[in-house]
Every structure is written in structure tokens, then in C-alpha cells.
């Protein structure tokens, strides 16, 4: 099976950028709806899908948790419920979310993983935020105390999914949702020092100011490499020379992207194939958008726009997920829209999301689209699709889960 859909597979989706007259099909009809009506369709679809996700990941397992992670496990379902609560303020979603987080807390009690997406830090952080919304001070104090007791193993990597960057992102998540200085800058600073020192040490061996390895490869992507680490560092209180190192690293990546505009998955790779959040232009776009916003740099804005073009032309993948699928790639256009206000980006987000709404489940059942190895999970499966549809209700507030604050 080819890795992505092509224009002749999706007539209603490419009308904006081709001269062909699209067939009047259900996808074309969806795209022509006023946004107020389309928003309601996204919400209704997401809520029905949410019920399936909860039933398959929580109810069918007897409310027992084996995989507690946000990525493929029960915490992802809790995060989806929290998103649903944010959209409708239905306390039933908040209460069920709290119940699932409690089960994840028990399942992760002995875990040494320290990140938001794949570790115990995510359980404690989401638990504290949910307890705050529930006005449960006892539970809030418990989860925050548990988070502060987390110790980063000395052999932890530096990337987002399993390493120090993922721990730092969790600190920023708590500070945003609970209040500034919930996790003091001084606490984060020691971890930032480690990340910067390691990046500089490996960077000296090449032309890039900061460089990191994970399992023997110098990855560039959001999940395990430079893109994700730079994304997190931009939220830290950096010294002037550290800011220049982050900027220099991003410029190095821009300079050494593929001629196609896509980005290598790792240093020296010549395989221009992956157009995913985890590896390739989508994750890089989100980080460049952030750089353009933080520093007001036109170079980063142009590079983000360029990477967004790659996602539009090559990012309609035959996968549904957030990590490596259409759900995640939809956020590239939402992010560019929020930054620039350009309606073309909102159209493209609508196009990808409407494709999911109109066709994804049928294509999965027909074997023409990959539903994910964990088909109801947040990062691989239908949980992520439900989350994306909820974010389409209010595009101005849409944030890639576990990555954008």
C-alpha cells in the first residue's frame, strides 16, 4: 500500500490548488458548508467517536490499565476526555477523566519514565490539572507532590518522548495550566543546563550548534530529535548565548533540508520519504511557527510556510494518527493559520479534517488506510482523530496534544 493518498484519490480536496473541476461528492459538500455548521458536525462526530474510544480502551478492559501512557495507553483517553470537557464543560467527562488518571497513577507508580507523552510525569501533571478543575485540593496536592518527587535517571536521553525535553515540557504544561512558577525556573534550570551542555558537546563534532543522539542516531524529528528539543527549549528561560544556539540549530536544519523542502529524519539521511509529526516537515513546521512567534523572525516564518507546503502536497497519509497520520498533519495548517491569519491555511486544515470526517473509518474498514497498531489510542488511532475533530470546533484554540502549549 502506498504511503499517502494522491490528488486523483481526493477530488474535493484539491480544488483550491488545481484547475480541475471536482466531482460533487460528500467531501466537496462538507468543505462548502459555513463553518458554524461544519463545527457542529465536527463536534457531533468527535463525541460519538469519543464514546467508542472510551468503551474500547477503558470499559472493555474492566477499567484496568496495562499501558498508562498518553501515547498509546489510558492516559491518552483521559486527555481526550479533558479536551471534551474543555469544549462542552460536561462534568461527566471531567469525572471519568479523573477516574482514568487514578488508574494510570497506580499503574505508573514504579515507572522510571519521566516524560509527559510516555512517562509518569504526564500522569501526575494531568492529574494535578484535573484536580484543579474539580476543585479537589487533596488530590491536587497529591499529584503535584508526586510530580515533584520524580527523579530523572542519569542515563535519560534528551529527546521529547522519553528524555529530559519531555520532562521540561511537563513543567511548562503545569505552569501554564496551574500558574506561573508552579514549577520554579530554578528547578528547570538544572535540566536545561544538562540539555544545553550535551547538545554543545556533540555539536562541536559537526556544524550544528546543538546535536543529540538517541539509540545511536542523530535524529532531527519532533519525537526523538532536534525539532522537539528546540521546541521545548524555546519555553525555557535561556541565556543570550543559548538563544543563539537554538536559532543556529534551526537555521542549520533549514539550510540542510531536502531540495523538496522536506526534512531528514536524522543527520545524513538521504531518505526523503517521511512526512510525519515524528519525522519530517510536519513536526518541523510546528517548531518553526513557534520560533517565528517567539522571535518575530521572517526567516523562520518563511521556512514554516515552505514546510507547510510540503505537508499540503505530501501529507495526506494513509494513516489516521496524530503521530504519523492525517490527524497530526492537520495541526500544521491550524498552527500556520493562528500565526498568520491566512484563510488558506484554515481551508487546508478543513480539507484534511473533512477527509477524516468523511472517509477515514470506511477506508480503514476497507483496508485502504492504517488505523494504527493501537487503533483507539491518542497518538496512533481513532483517539487522535476524535481529538483533532474537537480542535476543529475552535481552530483558534487548537493545539497539538503533548506538544503545543
Residue ranges at the known binding site: 278, 323-324
Q: 3-state DSSP call for residue 370?
A: strand
With contact defined as beta carbons under 8 Å apart, do 76 and 70 qualify?
Answer: yes
Q: By the 8 A CB rule, do 400 and 325 touch?
A: no
CA distances from 214 to 20, 76, 296 (A): 45, 24, 31
Determine the Cα–Cα distance for residues 224 and 166; give it in Å rounded to an integer. 10
Report the first-to-last Cα separation within the chain, whole angstroms.
35
Binding-site residues for Zn(2+): 278, 323-324
Separation of alpha carbons 321 and 323, rounded Å? 6
Crossing angle between the packed helical segments 120-133 and 74-88, to the nearest 10 degrees: 30
Kindly state the helix (H) or strand (E) to which residue 100 belongs, with its residue range.
helix 91-107
Q: What is the DSSP letter of 55?
A: I
Nearest to 306 by CA among 292, 326, 317: 292
Amino acid at each position: 500500500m502506498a504511503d499517502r493518498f494522491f490528488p486523483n484519490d481526493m477530488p474535493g480536496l484539491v480544488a483550491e490548488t488545481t484547475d480541475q473541476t471536482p466531482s460533487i461528492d460528500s467531501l466537496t459538500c462538507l468543505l462548502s458548508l459555513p463553518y458554524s455548521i461544519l463545527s457542529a458536525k465536527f463536534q457531533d462526530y468527535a463525541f460519538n467517536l469519543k464514546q467508542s474510544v472510551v468503551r474500547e480502551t477503558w470499559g472493555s478492559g474492566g477499567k484496568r490499565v496495562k499501558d498508562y501512557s498518553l501515547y498509546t495507553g489510558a492516559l491518552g483517553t483521559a486527555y481526550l476526555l479533558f479536551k471534551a470537557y474543555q469544549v462542552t464543560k460536561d462534568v461527566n467527562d471531567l469525572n471519568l477523566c479523573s477516574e482514568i488518571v487514578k488508574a494510570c497513577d497506580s499503574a505508573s507508580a514504579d515507572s522510571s519514565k519521566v516524560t509527559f507523552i510516555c512517562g509518569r510525569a504526564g500522569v501526575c501533571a494531568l492529574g494535578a490539572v484535573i484536580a484543579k478543575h474539580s476543585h479537589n485540593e487533596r488530590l491536587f496536592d497529591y499529584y503535584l507532590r508526586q510530580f515533584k518527587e520524580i527523579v530523572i535517571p542519569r542515563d535519560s536521553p534528551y529527546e521529547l518522548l522519553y528524555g529530559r525535553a519531555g520532562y521540561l515540557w511537563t513543567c511548562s504544561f503545569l505552569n501554564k495550566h496551574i500558574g506561573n512558577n508552579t514549577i520554579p525556573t530554578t528547578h528547570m534550570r538544572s535540566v536545561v543546563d544538562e540539555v544545553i551542555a550535551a547538545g554543545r558537546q556533540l555539536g562541536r563534532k559537526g556544524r550544528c550548534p546543538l546535536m543529540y543522539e538517541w539509540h545511536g542516531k542523530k535524529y532531527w524529528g519532533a519525537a526523538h530529535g532536534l525539532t522537539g528539543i528546540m521546541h521545548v527549549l524555546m519555553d525555557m528561560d535561556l541565556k543570550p548565548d543559548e538563544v543563539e544556539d537554538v536559532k543556529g540549530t534551526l537555521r542549520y536544519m533549514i539550510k540542510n533540508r531536502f531540495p523538496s523542502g522536506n526534512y531528514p529524519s536524522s543527520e545524513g539521511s538521504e531518505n526523503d520519504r517521511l512526512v510525519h509529526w515524528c519525522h519530517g516537515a510536519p513536526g518541523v513546521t510546528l517548531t518553526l511557527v513557534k520560533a517565528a512567534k517567539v522571535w518575530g523572525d521572517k526567516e523562520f516564518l518563511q521556512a514554516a510556510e515552505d514546510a507547510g507546503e510540503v505537508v499540503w502536497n505530501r501529507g495526506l497519509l494513509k494513516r489516521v494518527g496524530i503521530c504519523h497520520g492525517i490527524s497530526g498533519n492537520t495541526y500544521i495548517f491550524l498552527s500556520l493559520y493562528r500565526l498568520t491569519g491566512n484563510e488558506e491555511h484554515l481551508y487546508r486544515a478543513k480539507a484534511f479534517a473533512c477527509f477524516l470526517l468523511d472517509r477515514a473509518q470506511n477506508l480503514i474498514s476497507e483496508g485502504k488506510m492504517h488505523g494504527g497498531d493501537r487503533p483507539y489510542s491518542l497518538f496512533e488511532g481513532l483517539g487522535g482523530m476524535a481529538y483533532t475533530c474537537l480542535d476543529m470546533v475552535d481552530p483558534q484554540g487548537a493545539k497539538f496534544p503533548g506538544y503545543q502549549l
